[in-house]
Amino acid sequence: MEGRHVFEHLTVEENLLTGAYTRKEGRSTIATDLEKTYTYFPRLKERRSSQAGYTSGGEQQMLAIGRALMSKPKMILLDEPSMGLAPQLVEEIFEIVKDLNQREGVSFLLAEQNTNIALRYANYGYVLENGRVVMDGEGSELRENEDIKEFYLGMGGAGRKSFRDVKNYRRRKRWL
In tens, the pLDDT along 41-77 reads 999 999 999 999 999 989 999 999 999 999 999 999 9
Residue 85 Ramachandran class (φ > 0 left, ψ -120 to 50 alpha, else beta): beta
The per-residue pLDDT for range 130-153, each reduced to its tens digit, is 888 988 999 999 988 888 887 777
Q: 169 with 131, same domain?
A: yes
pTM: 0.80
For residue 175, pLDDT over 60 is answered with no
Look up the domain containing 87 and give its range: 2-122
Q: 67 with 114, same domain?
A: yes
Q: 10 with 89, same domain?
A: yes
Q: 57 with 97, same domain?
A: yes
| Residue environment code for 46-82, b if the CB has 16+ CB neighbours within 10 A, otherwise e | ebeeebbeebeebbbbbbbbbbbbbebeeebebebbb
Number of domains into which the chain is organized: 2
State the pLDDT at residue 97. 93
